[in-house]
Amino acid sequence: MHFSARSVCLVAALTFSSTSASSQQIADRIYLGGPIVTMDETAPSAEAVAVKDGRILAVGLLSDLSAHQGEETETYDLEGRAMLPGFVDSHGHVVMGGLQALSANLLAPPDGDVIDIASLQSTLTDWAEENAQAVEQVQMIIGFGYDNAQLKELRHPTRQELDMVSEDLPVVIIHQSGHLGVANSKALELAGITAASEAPPGGVIQRDEAGEPNGVLEEYAFFSVLVPMLGNLGEEGLAAFARAGTELWAKFGYTTGQEGRSSGEIVEVLKKVAAEEGLPIDVVAFPDVLESREYIGANTSADYDNRVRVGGCKLTIDGSPQGFTALRDRPYYDPVGNYAAGYAGYAAITMEQLQDAVNWCYENDFQILVHSNGEGASDMLIAALEEAQIKYGDPGNRPVLVHGQFLREDQVASFKRLGVFPSLFPMHTFYWGDWHRDHTVGPVNADNISPTGWLRERDMMFGTHHDAPVAFPDSMRVLAATVTRRTRSGDILGPHQRVDVMTALKAMTIWPAWQHFEEDEKGSIEVGKVADFVILSDDPTAVDPETLAELEVLVTVKGDEVIYEAEEGVREGSLQFSPFSNDPVIAHLFLHAIYQGMRVEDPWLARN
């Protein structure tokens, strides 16, 4: 807590009230001394907030809240800093977010140091040397977050280039999108992938001119390696992921996180960790409807079990737009790689699978979150939703479009008509905006990626997300990208799609709370709601929008309990993780699981 001489003065100010505290409920704590942005349209700002038993007791003028000041009431002095409602994660993968802490950081600046294949190789080599004991024990080198769009060579590394890191150990690197990756020769050998291997449905094994696998595996070809790896993590390894991920979300001001493509096993681990150790934040999980239907049916609930609940279903139609695996309705503009003329990506599932999943969710009144990036995938989704609503009507299940990077304006209108809540990814404008302009969709259509402007023209609510571990769950980067749409190069991508700061904040608070059916509990600072707050270094509504990304999350409060407080001088948006600094035993288990997963003779058959 922050107590000071200033606090004493403010407490004194509270005593000058004509209302007797004895006639009112006495607060446990009163927050005051800085701008408070409530996100309540009827009273958008306040001088003070009183809290009792973890819930908001009163909001308003300092003089009015003195009625709730008692002898035992504590005062939290904001010291001029800004307080907002805790951020609600519109889409992310909070358990997989732990992966960032347990592997070599291959992200490009500003989140890492990889700028070309040479620096990628040296980062992997340095990581292996720094963690030699673990690597020696589990015989594996793993890296996360490379992005061919940000490498100087503008291509994926090859297996031969990863062989230069190690020929004797399997080396696997995961693309920042999480939809593809690269394996060295040893890793391909252990996975049983050869020139004779056929790619699984919804996946691609990239090959060189001689027909040999070049190491790049897309979508289900990659998942056929990744899923067995995660399946072998075991309960202890998954628990480590859950702890690391929820703590990371809290550092960026999120008081509600999402596990956006889960399984029954992962949810059960979350529940066990929550029951035995406690979780700092709430987590809403959405298991994959193609794989966990029975579990979804038995466990979906509006109520939290020790801060964990199943919110409904997740379904994935296509892949990564920056990785050229998203399904478009037209050819990619200038794809980098060996692509046939007219290449437009592909779907990861069939229309029959999509329709069956959507129908099941509508029939049983389950919310469904659908990953759809390309225009072709959204055409599939619109058709499926239309058929489901004809058959079952609108059960009020608030279906969610996840990502929607490439949307036509007519598709936005269709989603409004169908009652779809768009959870968009405006951070793409910063991380991959230049790439989209130059390679995926071209300079005209790139202006309309993540089209928040089109949504507001139609008075649609929407959420904004980070999709971590695709990017850090950096709330201020999400906010800045939504408002400014500046790319890494400084270009403004689609000025007409920008929104104002208050709209962007709604997309991180009250609107995603509505998305999760929790608008009566969270998302704004109003009487009766949970006391979930984030304290920032400055008021985002009062600073130059071009400086929004520089704001710092200083404190995160969950139910009136501080769950994160920044060390002085630490900029959380620039976190660099030391993979084994916190728990080397768990890191060993993690890498061992990867190694065991790679030993599956036919991983596709093993998965199915």
Domain CATH number, residue 46: 2.30.40.10
Same domain, 155 and 219: yes
Among residues 56, 80, 104, the one where a domain terminates is 80
User: Which pLDDT tens digit goes with each residue over 540-561?
Assistant: 999 999 999 999 999 999 999 9
SS3 of 184, please? Answer: coil
In a 3-state reduction of DSSP, which class is residue 75? Answer: strand
Largest CA distance in the chain: 87
One domain, residues 13 and 59? yes
pLDDT at 21: 39
Q: What distance in Å separates the CA atoms of residue 400 and residue 368, rounded to the nearest whole number?
A: 6
Q: Which residues contact 407 (CB under 8 A, 6 or more apart)?
A: 375, 378, 448, 451, 454
45 and 151 both lie in a single domain: no
Same domain assignment for residues 48 and 154: no
Residues 103 and 176 in one domain: yes
**pLDDT per residue as tens digits for the range 565-608:** 998 644 443 333 333 333 333 333 343 333 333 333 333 222 22
pLDDT digits (tens, 9 = 90+) for 491-541: 999 999 999 999 999 999 999 999 999 999 999 999 999 999 999 999 999
Q: Does some domain include residue 375?
A: no
pLDDT for residue 22:
40
User: Domain check: are 37 and 69 in the same one?
Assistant: yes
> Is 56 part of any domain?
yes
Residues contacting 259, CB < 8 A, separation 6+: 92, 93, 94, 95, 266, 267, 270, 283, 284, 285, 286
Give the pLDDT confidence score for residue 100 in this predicted structure: 65
Which domain range does residue 34 map to? 5-80
Instruction: For residues 139 and 22, state if they share a domain.
Output: no
| pTM, entire model | 0.82
Query: In this structure, are 118 and 215 located in the same domain?
Result: yes
109 and 219 part of one domain? yes
| Confidence (pLDDT) at 138 | 57
Q: How many CA within 13 A on the CB side of residue 242?
A: 32
| Pairing, β 308-310 against β 282-287 | parallel
pLDDT at 81: 98
CATH number at residue 162: 3.10.310.70
Residue 45: inside a domain, yes or no?
yes
Q: What's the average model confidence in pLDDT over 174-189?
A: 85
Same domain, 124 and 189: yes
> What domain count does the chain have?
2
What does pLDDT average to over the chain? 87
Q: Kindly give the pairing relationship between strand 533-536 and strand 82-85.
A: antiparallel
Tens-place pLDDT, residues 350-399: 999 999 999 999 999 999 999 999 999 999 999 999 999 999 999 999 99
- What pLDDT was estimated at residue 144? 84
